[in-house]
Copies of this chain bind each other. A is one copy, B any other.
Amino acid sequence: MGNFLEIITHDNGQKQATEPCLEPCSIERGMRLLGGKWKGSILWHLKEHPVRFNDLARQIGGASKKMLSQRLQEMEEEGLVKREVVSDRPIAVTYEITEFGKSALGFLEELKNWVEKHQL
């Protein structure tokens, strides 16, 4: 019976974790990067080719434009996505997935498969 739980008991009976996950561990941090509402979906929609803002909004019907532009800004700062002004006059902007963003696709695909396999 080892000390599986990593909990020690002091002389006064007080208990303490030896390795408390004090602040967000890897999984938590990852979820906060990719787990935000719509972020996965956005990345997924960009995986083939750059997409323009309003086209993205049309494709992700459930999300408002405000949401989308917020998320896209965050994702640009996080390096997941790249914003590119293609032309002004008739202003045109595209959002493109970065190499870093692409590195997350495998994992998103696993999530997708998992969900579909279990019919969720």
Question: How many identical subunits does the complex contain?
Answer: 2
Query: Do the beta carbons of B41 and A25 come within 8 Å of each other?
Result: yes
Interface size in chain A (residues, C-beta < 8 A): 55
8 Å CB contact of A115 from B19, B27, B61: B27
In the assembled complex, the CB of A21 is this many whole angstroms from the nearest CB of chain B, namely: 5
Question: Which residues of the partner chain B approach A26 to less than 8 Å between Cβ atoms?
Answer: 111-112, 115-116, 120
* In the assembled complex, A45 has its CB within 8 A of some CB on chain B: yes
Which residue numbers of A lie inside 8 Å of B, CB to CB?
4-7, 15-17, 19-31, 33-35, 37-41, 44-45, 48-49, 51-52, 54-55, 58-62, 100, 103-104, 106-108, 110-112, 114-116, 118, 120
